[in-house]
Homo-oligomer: A and B are copies of this chain.
Amino acid sequence: MTRIAIDAMGGDNAPRAIVEGAVWAAMEYNIPIELVGKLYDIERELDRIDQEGIVVSVGGGMLPPKRIKVNTKSLDIKKTQATEVIEMGEAPGQAIRKKKNSSIVLAVNSVVTGSSDAIVAAGSTGAAMGASLFGLGRLPGIERPAIATVLPTMKGPLILIDSGANTDCTPEMLFQFGLMGSIYAKSVLKIENPRIAILNIGEEAGKGDELAKDTYKLFDENKDKFNFIGNAEGKEIFLGNCDVVVCDGFVGNVALKTIEGVARMFFYMIKKELCQDFLSKLIGILVRPVLKKMYSKVNYEEFGGALLLGVKGITVICHGRSTAYAIKNAVKVAYNAVEAGVNKTIASYYGEKE
């Protein structure tokens, strides 16, 4: 049985939202869970959930909350004590070496020892990456692990890789990101023959900075192995014309957070406009289901978390602001990645087994 280890102490809303999301996933998808964190906090949250249920708020407060009743004792939930927590401000490398009993280090350890099969973490991204890389090790042949984020487009989902793990990259690294993203798209998102593009400032082959130009050449030389479709501009990626978009972690992270910023501004503006007078308030009530539907399509919570690809194991990195709903979905992402054997496929590309 595939079990998912969850850092119960990571994220702005931890431990409450994390434990709730974990319980929710265990109930809804029947996925075995291992909660790693301060046992006192975990037990307290589980007791509270048994009494109060999980109060579900989807859609950024645009919907009235819903209560789900749960008996946590009927679910397959392991609890593992972790006496330390790595905070957001700490230098990740130092923190994971110093805090050997931190929730994230022990969550990774659960996968190393075989107690669990994947990690879900909403705390410091650097710490989750560092602990995973240090604890699990790199997949053979992979130079650097990268973060693959799933984004909505006008048509289907899109994988943006790297969305923040590596700030200064070589063409070879970007090439590997494309390979890993493509395998993820195929095995988890079930996209046949995923279309890979380089995120660039123009479509023509000679466009972009030195990195983009050299990466283009590398993909072009290997286009018999992939469905490489060339360069894609930021405005095109949402049309749904490609499945995997490759870039360095600096550009990817800026793009990702810009998307978040624009989306937030959009909903802010709509809310503001629809609260000005009686008529617009009335329109607001009518338009709410439409907005809700849209919000659910662009909401990061739906995709739960981003996959750290290139390590010998599955780590799903969640948004720091993750809600219970986001954590529930992240557990599902982790579960699917394990079941699909993403790592085995990546490793087999380099002629080695995981």
User: What is the interface of chain A, defined by CB distance below 8 A to chain B?
Assistant: 89, 152-154, 164, 167-168, 199-201, 204, 208-210, 212, 233-239, 247-251, 253-266, 268-270, 273-274, 280, 283, 286-287, 290, 293-294, 297-298
Say yes or no: A212-B286 contact (C-beta < 8 A), given A238-B262, A266-B294.
no
Check if B254 sits within 8 Å of A270, measured CB to CB: no
Check if A254 sits within 8 Å of B199, measured CB to CB: yes
What are 18 pairs between A and B in contact, CB < 8 Å? A89-B204, A154-B265, A154-B268, A167-B208, A167-B212, A199-B254, A201-B250, A209-B250, A212-B250, A233-B254, A235-B260, A237-B258, A254-B254, A266-B266, A269-B294, A273-B290, A273-B293, A283-B290
CA distance A234 to B262 in the complex (A): 9
Say yes or no: A234-B255 contact (C-beta < 8 A), given A287-B287, A294-B269.
yes
Closest to A290 in B: B273
Say yes or no: A201-B233 contact (C-beta < 8 A), given A238-B261, A283-B290.
no
CA distance A153 to B261 in the complex (A): 9
Extra 10 A-B pairs, beta carbons < 8 Å, given A233-B254, A234-B259, A254-B254: A233-B261, A234-B255, A235-B264, A236-B257, A251-B254, A262-B263, A274-B290, A280-B290, A283-B290, A286-B286
Cβ–Cβ < 8 Å partners of A258 in chain B: 234-235, 237, 255, 258-259, 262
Neighbour of A257 across the interface among B89, B204, B234, B294, CB < 8 A = B234
Cβ–Cβ < 8 Å partners of A259 in chain B: 234, 258, 262
Check if A269 sits within 8 Å of B254, measured CB to CB: no
Q: How far is the CB of A92 from chain B (nearest CB, A)?
A: 12
CA distance A293 to B277 in the complex (A): 15
Q: How far is the CB of A213 from chain B (nearest CB, A)?
A: 9
CA distance A210 to B167 in the complex (A): 8
Q: How far is the CB of A344 from chain B (nearest CB, A)?
A: 31
Check if B254 sits within 8 Å of A209, measured CB to CB: no
CA distance A295 to B192 in the complex (A): 37
Closest to A248 in B: B209
Cβ–Cβ < 8 Å partners of A200 in chain B: 254
CA distance A239 to B257 in the complex (A): 12
Cβ–Cβ < 8 Å partners of A262 in chain B: 238, 258-259, 262-263, 266
CA distance A258 to B254 in the complex (A): 10
The 8 closest A-B pairs by CB, nearest first: A234-B257, A234-B258, A167-B209, A235-B261, A201-B253, A238-B261, A235-B257, A238-B265
CA distance A204 to B280 in the complex (A): 41
Q: How far is the CB of A128 from chain B (nearest CB, A)?
A: 15
Cβ–Cβ < 8 Å partners of A248 in chain B: 209
CA distance A259 to B258 in the complex (A): 7
CA distance A250 to B119 in the complex (A): 34
CA distance A348 to B344 in the complex (A): 62
Cβ–Cβ < 8 Å partners of A266 in chain B: 262-263, 266, 294, 298
